């Protein structure tokens, strides 16, 4: 049974501890700088709690590590884990920049270790269905894709690490945008990117005390904290094969409901189109049959995304080949993110006036 060390006992650490257990691995360590949090998780899912990643890095019995800590720590901890001879399930975003991702990939190659990135949307019911439909060729040649996620007011943990650029690397784009980019690209078979244009917007979170919210995942706001990241991003990505991807992601925006659906993934081909909601249970296939336009509802088979992702990781450890999201794909996603940040013009700071 593979021995797993989990670094980070926060929201995602809990998901991975449960997934590791359900996929048939042994959780050996749960490390968190908050020992209490590590202990709470170890109590539930097994393993021993500790308050430092070093304990896990120095344990030769650990086969693989899961890194689920704030984004800034992904790069240094990933490098340390690989150098310590551990295989790695590394949470998204892979790192803060593409050059950090490149470095992680170089070390993985040199050490012969595998790196899988936590792009878990590939394992949702609709994520799997979409890939199957595209791979079966039911859409024909796909010329365009859309990836949209609109949250009316959902800046996470306002004022804390998710909204602090030096720790998170950015806001909605690097947090949830990366999931959408990977889901679109993996469904399309990772076509080569030709160019990227885009703009990020920092409109709502920066109001801090004036920010009215509907939900606040990642904990209650720290009104005296920092928010120097974007809460929305819009981008257009062209691939060398002539296909395009329109990305539209927001933690916050003035979105009328239901005029704009909360989430929409769409793939449009010359033989058919497919749309679905990110957390949905079906896709709609749109095509022509016998001279008429038809819409077909495709039910998505049930899935356990985190468990299935972990099972894939365990298989990859055995076969030494990553079948899920690999480090090179994580780097491609990060390059797109880097480009969008680089492309973005400074915004007129209306809220700061």
Ligand X SMILES: NC(=O)c1ccc[n+]([C@@H]2O[C@H](COP(=O)([O-])OP(=O)(O)OC[C@H]3O[C@@H](n4cnc5c(N)ncnc54)[C@H](O)[C@@H]3O)[C@@H](O)[C@H]2O)c1
In the complex, which residues of this chain contact ligand X (CB under 6 A)?
7-13, 31-34, 37, 53, 68-71, 73, 91-92, 118, 120, 175, 218
Query: Considering the complex, what minimum distance in angstroms separates the CB of residue 17 from ligand X?
Result: 11
Give dist(CA 107, CA 84) in Å, integer: 11
Chain center to CA of 119: 4
At 2 the three-state DSSP class reads coil
Residue nearest ligand X, CB atom distance: 10
Give dist(CA 160, CA 168) in Å, integer: 10
Give dist(CA 264, CA 253) in Å, integer: 16
**C-beta of 170 vs 198, nearer to ligand X:** 170
Q: Tell me if the bond preceding 93 is cis, omega within 30° of 0.
A: yes
**C-beta of 218 vs 328, nearer to ligand X:** 218
Query: Considering the complex, what minimum distance in angstroms separates the CB of residue 107 from ligand X?
Result: 19
**CB–CB of 219/160 below 8 Å?**
yes
Query: Considering the complex, what minimum distance in angstroms separates the CB of residue 78 from ligand X?
Result: 11
**C-beta of 15 vs 139, nearer to ligand X:** 15
Query: Considering the complex, what minimum distance in angstroms separates the CB of residue 100 from ligand X?
Result: 13
**C-beta of 10 vs 261, nearer to ligand X:** 10
Q: What is the DSSP string of 313-339?
A: HHHHHHHTS--SSBHHHHHHHHHHHHH
Query: Considering the complex, what minimum distance in angstroms separates the CB of residue 128 from ligand X?
Result: 16
**CB–CB of 89/317 below 8 Å?**
no
**C-beta of 57 vs 142, nearer to ligand X:** 57
**C-beta of 118 vs 273, nearer to ligand X:** 118
**C-beta of 46 vs 70, nearer to ligand X:** 70
Query: Considering the complex, what minimum distance in angstroms separates the CB of residue 14 from ligand X?
Result: 8
Alpha helix (H) ranges present in the chain?
A: 11-23, 35-45, 53-57, 74-83, 98-111, 125-135, 165-168, 172, 178-188, 305-319, 327-343
**CB–CB of 118/306 below 8 Å?**
no
Query: Considering the complex, what minimum distance in angstroms separates the CB of residue 26 from ligand X?
Result: 20
């Amino acid at each position: 049974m593979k021995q797993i060390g989990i670094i980070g006992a926060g929201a995602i650490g809990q998901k991975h501890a449960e997934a590791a257990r359900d996929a048939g691995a042994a959780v050996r360590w749960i490390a968190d700088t908050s020992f209490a949090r590590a202990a709470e998780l170890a109590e539930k899912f097994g393993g021993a709690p500790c308050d430092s990643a070093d304990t896990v890095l120095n344990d030769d019995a650990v086969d693989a590590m899961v890194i689920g800590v704030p984004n800034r720590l992904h790069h240094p901890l990933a490098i340390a884990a690989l150098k310590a001879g551990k295989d790695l399930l590394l949470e998204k975003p892979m790192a803060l920049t593409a050059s950090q991702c490149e470095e992680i990939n170089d070390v993985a190659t040199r050490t012969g270790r595998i790196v899988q990135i936590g792009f878990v949307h590939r394992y949702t019911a609709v994520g799997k269905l979409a890939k199957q439909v595209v791979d079966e060729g039911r859409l024909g040649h796909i010329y365009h894709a859309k990836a949209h996620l609109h949250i009316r007011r959902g800046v996470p943990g306002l004022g804390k690490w998710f909204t602090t650029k030096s720790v998170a690397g950015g806001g909605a784009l690097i947090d949830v945008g990366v999931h959408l980019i990977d889901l679109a690209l993996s469904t399309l078979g990772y076509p080569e990117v030709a160019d990227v244009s885009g703009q990020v917007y920092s409109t709502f979170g920066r109001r801090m005390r004036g920010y009215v919210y509907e939900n606040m995942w990642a904990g209650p706001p720290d009104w005296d904290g920092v928010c120097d990241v974007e809460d929305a991003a819009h981008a257009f990505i062209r691939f060398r094969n002539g296909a395009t991807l329109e990305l539209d992601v927001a933690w916050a925006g003035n979105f009328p409901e239901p005029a704009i659906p909360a989430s929409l993934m769409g793939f449009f081909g010359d033989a058919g189109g497919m749309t679905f909601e990110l957390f949905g249970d079906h896709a709609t296939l749109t095509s022509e049959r016998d001279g008429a336009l038809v819409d077909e509802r495709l039910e998505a088979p049930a899935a356990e995304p985190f468990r299935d992702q972990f099972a894939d990781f365990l298989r990859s450890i055995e076969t030494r080949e990553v079948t899920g999201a690999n480090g090179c794909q994580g780097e491609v996603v990060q390059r797109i993110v880097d480009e969008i940040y680089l492309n973005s013009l400074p915004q007129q700071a209306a809220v700061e006036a």
